[in-house]
Chain A
Amino acid sequence: MFLRLLFESFRRQKRRKTVALLAIALGMSIATAMIAVGNDIGDKINQELRSLGANLVLTPIEDTLDVNIGGVNLKPATEGAFIPEQDLIKLKSIFWGHNIKGFAPFLSDHQVITAKNGEIKADLIGTYFAQPLRYGKEEFTTGVRSVNPWWKVEGEWPPDYAAWPQNQPADVLVGTKLAQQNGLAIGDQIEIGGKSLHISGILNSGGAEDQAVVAPLHIVQDILKQPNAVRRVAVSALTKPEDNFARKDPNKMTPAMRDRWYCSPYANSIAFQIHEALPNVRVEQIRQVEQNQGKVLSRVSGLMLLLTLAALFAAALAVSAAMAATIIERRQEVGLMKSLGAGNAAVVSLFLTEASLLALAGGLIGFLAGAALAHQIGQSIFGSTIVVHPVVLAVVLCAAVLITFLGSVGAVRKAMSFDPAVVLRGDA
């Protein structure tokens, strides 16, 4: 009997049920889309902030001071200490190795460049552009192209030679200022330290590199006769914004706290782990980047959280108003049931069962629609997918049932409070 009532109610009131279902589905797709976007926005903005470049810098502990004025390096290449290039792969071996998004080694020296118009003094900088590397089974490429995404090259990026190319000059980049001042162009040949080089592109970095020659690391090591040497490494790591816990002194923590600190991707715990893997290296946070990105990140995530809350509240209000309206309209039905002898419990259970069926169906439809919307937003704005966590489905279904119940209960009680005779006469 109960099932039949339920079934007939859906069969005979298709329009009403569709409106209610639509309202729930719309509300829940808002909830799904906003939760998914709000949940993922932190990661997405964090990726965007990686365009700030490296946030950690490695230098040899034994190194002498840098003597660098106006982008010109006055320290001789032979002075000071170096980091062995082959050790750099150990960066990937640390606990948070996956968060090391990339690194770029640098080796530079002030050199005399012989060009067609005469001799120029400028910095020669060696680095990785997009060097393929292998750590265990993982293959990845790293270099300035990913670490310093604001570097722009007109022409071709040089390849990362493993050794001098046979029978031809090695490709290099020339900074835009240096090229302008000395009339260098793509395709020209220059000579440094008796080795001839071919300009494959003009680099515009907006920084000191605009007045330098930038070449593959192994070429520069060869010219400077410093095999395997690296002076500085810029590391771009995905980090968790510094909070009060991260500011505590790790040496004063209890073992449990220290484990938690070590296993959180804070900049200082990653720096500590790099120092463990490379003991002769000093790791500094590039504070300008590291200290500020957390602030920006928390602003954006906070904004999305508040907007999500507002949207969820609005969706809940819309859904419960729609549910209340459909039930109030059915006062006559309630009156009829009661005059035929149905108890309050029977009426309430029928209405709430209907409501929960509607909520489950609407919630499912809404979840699918919302996930599609979130995907679309992610693709069009960030060019990457926003993943909707399956747990959101459970949350959305629960929320749908809860909201429809809240909307229904008041309305059902109100519908029952009328005298059946009055309702059936149509006077209420």
Chain B
Amino acid sequence: MSRMQLLFRLLFKAAWVRKDRALTALVSVAVVATIATAALTIYSDLEGRLSRDFRGFGANVVVTKASGELTADELASIYTIAGSDGEVLPVAYAAASFPEGAKVVVGGADLEKLRKLNTSWSFEDRSQGNALVGARVAEAVSHGGSWQVAYGKAVSSIMPRAVFHSGSDDDSRVYIPLKDFERLTGVQPSTALVRVEGKPQDIRDAISRLSSALPNAEVKAVRQITQAQAAVVGKTRSIVLASSAVVVVLIMLSMVATFTSSVLERRKDFAVMKALGASNKTVNFLFAAEAALLALAGSIAGYVLGSGIAFWIGRVNFEAAILPQPVLLLPILLGCVALALIASTAPLRLLQQIQPAGILRGE
């Protein structure tokens, strides 16, 4: 039997004869690897996932021109910067008046896009009409059907398609299609409501790009939304990181304790080997190889399981799978193996100070 064969036999037998002990060690490594993989996978994807939930808050950037209108070029560069995921809604406003003289703000915009951008508004659909009417306007013109608004000498008839509640100034406004608005007032959009998709950092980048692309316009973040998004996403990331760090460290301690105690349990094996003439180096190597193999098997199983858990959490909580991160595989394998090596070789040094005969006698 060659040396190599003997080594494999020793390693294999040690695990096979005491299956329960090997299994305990394997489970403890696998648990560490599983939790570490799941937490890190979720953590790396969390910012993007959570940022999507801020989509419903509507526009997060507003571009306005103090004087004049947004030119076709300016609009084109807004569309480019907002990207295909973002939304851009050019809006024009004017103060019109009811026949009895009261003023009302009329906005011109693409009504479908307006609804899509403000998903939080509640809409009560009416008959086939041409306008989206704010709740307070609808209340002020208590008679149903259509009514007239005048802008200078031009008059337009408003027929509600839907009445909406927003809780903002928009409740006092009427929105009509941009074409009708331009025909009525001759005014072109000077404001663009922009919804930039992405992480807080992406939004900041888009705002600075917009500002430099549009020197004549004012680009403003809707600060309450961007700020809340940054706060919530940031704090959630930190809490996930902190709590998983706590869990991983504690489970790691428990794994170290399991490995150490399983080596100490085997002081008789150790003593027999020494008594049969094995050198310290050989014994160390044998124990280390065993620990490394167990750790390797455990951490691969843990990586697979942890990626599965992250995938499942993504499905259940974010309605979109969180994909495995291959980058994590190597650090987790190396970390687990290194930890197992430290945990199993440290007690050996302790044993080496005792005479094998003493151990075999049971001292």
Contacts and interface: CB of A to CB of B under 8 A. Distances in A.
B309 A310 contact: yes
A67 B104 contact: yes
A315 B255 CA distance: 11
A19 B261 contact: yes
Interface in B231-287: 231-232, 235-236, 238-240, 242-244, 246-247, 250-251, 253-255, 257-258, 260-262, 264-265
A101 interface: no
A303 B35 contact: no
Contacts of A206: 220-224
A290 B222 CA distance: 16
Interface stretch (B72-80, B160-168, B351-359): B160-168
A295 B27 CA distance: 37
A68 B232 contact: no
Contacts of B255: 318
Question: Which DSSP category, helix, strand, loop or mixed, fits chain A's interface?
Answer: helix
Most buried by A among B46, B228, B250: B250
Interface string A165-207: 0000000000000000000000000000000000000000111
B27 A321 contact: yes
A49 B232 contact: yes
A326 B264 CA distance: 12
14 contacts: A19-B257, A22-B254, A53-B224, A69-B94, A74-B95, A150-B227, A286-B168, A288-B167, A302-B316, A303-B42, A310-B309, A321-B28, A377-B243, A380-B242
Contacts of A412: none
Given A205-B223, A321-B24, A321-B27, A33 B243 contact: yes
A41 interface: yes
A422 B223 CA distance: 76
B121 A287 contact: yes
Contacts of A292: 53-54, 56-57, 120
B142 interface: no
B223 A288 contact: no
Given A48-B228, A149-B227, 15 more contacts: A26-B254, A34-B247, A45-B232, A51-B228, A66-B169, A66-B172, A70-B93, A75-B103, A207-B223, A303-B240, A304-B240, A314-B35, A326-B261, A381-B242, A382-B235
B363 interface: no
Nearest to B118: A288
B223 A45 contact: no
Given A45-B235, A51-B228, A26 B309 contact: no
A45 B236 contact: yes
Interface residues of B, number: 81
B39 interface: yes
Contact of B254 (A41, A318, A373): A318
B232 A33 contact: no
A225 interface: no
Contact of A311 (B35, B42, B54, B64): B35
Interface string A304-338: 10110011001101110110111011000000000
B69 interface: no
A124 interface: no
Contact of B317 (A59, A284, A288, A302): A302
Contact of A325 (B46, B236, B250, B262): B262
A393 interface: no
Contact of B247 (A16, A289, A303, A311): A311
Interface string B101-120: 01111000000000000111
A37 to B, nearest CB: 5
A69 to B, nearest CB: 5
Interface string B311-332: 0010011100000000000000
